[in-house]
Structure 1
Amino acid sequence: MIRKTQFAVAIAALISAPAFAAVGWDANIELDTTYQNSALNVATGVAGPRGASQTGRVEINAFSKTDKGGGFVAGRASLLAGKGGSTGVDDMWVQIGNAAGDVKLGRFEAADVFPVGKDVIVEDGGAPTGYRTNTFRGRTSDAHAALTLNAGSGIGFELGVMAAAKNTGIRPVVSFGMNGFSAKVGLENGKNAAGKKVSGAGLTVGTTMAGAGLNASFGSGKVDGVKGSSFGLNGTFGPAGVGYIMDKTNFTTGTKKENTFYAAYSLPLFDTGATITPAASYSKADGDTKRIGLRARINYAF
């Protein structure tokens, strides 16, 4: 109780202190009520009923950016309080640079080379896993840094580096964006948290037109010598989103495929700015149980 009181007093002091007048604060709650028909335990190969569940979290964000002398320093922290009583950190980083480039250090996610769009629920947890060029994207290592260079004309370069006991790798990404069109090409090489060697490449292209966003992605690589690939298509149309992913893994015993479909639609809750999003997903891998998921997600920013 004493620790909780001390924490509350410290937060109140930070908010009221003049030195922190430039800090921005916001918060939101996300609550999921979910039904899933079955789950495949990859370790045991046993499928079983999952039924209904409810999960969620409150996210509190503090952020600031100061521009001086032709450069800037920015920082962000995102604290999570889970429905089950857990607490954690989502983002915690500092960024230093100018218009030509910057360096980001801490806990964050780098460029996404396999975006999945409106992914309220995506039931792709069975085997195979495929390969999506995001193993070393971030939030998975004790030490993470990314150097970003802006070459102009919509061309950028990001070099991500993880150097720790687990998830150690390098991940360069070249990006291009202009007139509603964007593309990213990424490579990665290193060892994941399980100590397995990971190497591969991926490409994602997207376009925005008439309020709709369309994206296609492909990744191909190896994890511990096992080849895998993933192909994804998704679209966002105002409050609606749909997507499809095909994961393929070439085991020594043969090739296994998994097809996943998902969709979601956000509805306003009165005129409060809050939304409720019904969503559904279906997935089937060769020789594995069909996975069906239904979810209603409530989002409320305050």
Structure 2
Amino acid sequence: MDERSEPTPATGEPFAGGGPADSATEAFVAHRNLLFTVAYEMLGSAADAEDVLQETWLRWMRVDLEQVHDHRAYLVRITTRRSLDRLRSVKRRREEYVGSWLPEPLLTAPDVAEDAELAESVSMALMLVLETLAPTERAVFVLREVFDVGYEEIAAAVGKSPVAVRQIAHRARRHVDARRPREVVSPGVARAALDSFRRAFETGDLQGLLDVLAPEVVLISDGGGVKQAAPRPIVGAGKVARFIVGGLGKAQVGLTGEATVVNGSPALVVRVNGGIDGVIAAGVEGGLITGLYYVRNPHKLTRIASETPLVLH
């Protein structure tokens, strides 16, 4: 394969070349961030989303653009189909995953947090809810509820009739609404709660943790069998606080939490003696933390050094 045909736009890197592929390349690059966001919301994995973009690019380069009236819609269709194929294959892999599975955290720009719709759609809490949907339900929900794609287009993307897609969308929406957080809080409120948590976390202050944790708070930690983590979710403020103080807090010297923005929400990069130990994202309602999502699996921490652009349009 020569340099000009190398599919570098799928990686987001510059593409140098000329000739008939230029218009296809320009269209792909123009919509790349959108396509990544679609794939990531369907898969919960940046690595898998990047693979889907590579497959989308290769398929796109074989398309006769004179027959395509809407480049964006066609690219979203290819991305959705490739994401569905991959989602079905990774379901088995996730069933064999060691311990709890969490989405791969992404360092995002502060303006993502200001876009309430986008921030909620990529939040750890909602991404975990999406994991409970069947692959086609997830695709339909993401395309319809997050990206506002029309039923006809979704039908073409998932291989169903528009009538069936409407039914699937209704079922998926009802399923998600019953499980999604009841309250969307401002970044400022979330940051304040997480700051209180950080201070107690760093000092091993049990009472400080109890003061900021909701009574039925849930902690999920993901070590992927590579780093130690709770094998199952821990429920209840007392149990969560004792787990943090006993297992993560005072037992570790040099433990710090660095404020950051992950998946559009305030989060902490946890360091032990300067080295990255993991990322903690939090769900907040009523000023209290209702969910803690601690990703320690080092294979999932490659996207916290530089921002990943996410868009809805």
**When the two structures are superposed, what TM-score results if normalisation uses the length of structure 1?**
0.30
**When the two structures are superposed, what TM-score results if normalisation uses the length of structure 2?**
0.29
* Structure number with higher strand proportion: 1
The structure whose RCO (Cα within 8 Å, separation 6+) is larger is 2
